[in-house]
Structure 1
Amino acid sequence: MVLLSKVEKSSDEFMEIMQNLSNIQALKDSRELENLIGISHASCVLKREMQKTKDLMTKVKKQKLFEKKNSGLPN
């Protein structure tokens, strides 16, 4: 009996999850989904921001190496 109860509960939860997934798929390319999640085109934005961060970190490293190299030279 306990096992049957757990199976029924799991089945109900599974059906609810499937319904939610169906709803999300229906909204997949709509503005409503973007509004619900709070992002739009997140992967493109994330990639662009990651590249900006990489570029900035490279510039900082180069600047630090330049400063270190020049600090050793007498004026």
Structure 2
Amino acid sequence: MEVHSVKSITYGDLTFEQVCAKIKDYTKKDLQGTYVISIGTDSQSYEGVTKMVSVITLIRKSKGGIFFYDIRK
């Protein structure tokens, strides 16, 4: 069975379980912070190939954020 990784500019290739752990660690840094999590997917077909992109974004309002993405064809 192939394990598919999720990508992060900050953390590199991660498993989904590692992404969950990074999100948990990030929110622990500021327990009083206000967070917004967004999950989205989009696709585009071109010349018979469909590219699908999924993104998980965690924003700590007024203090930055982190994101993770996956691209599949």
Q: TM-score, normalised by structure 2?
A: 0.30
Larger relative contact order (C-alpha < 8 A, sep ≥ 6)? 2
* Higher helix content, 1 or 2: 1
Q: Which has the larger radius of gyration?
A: 1
* Higher strand content, 1 or 2: 2
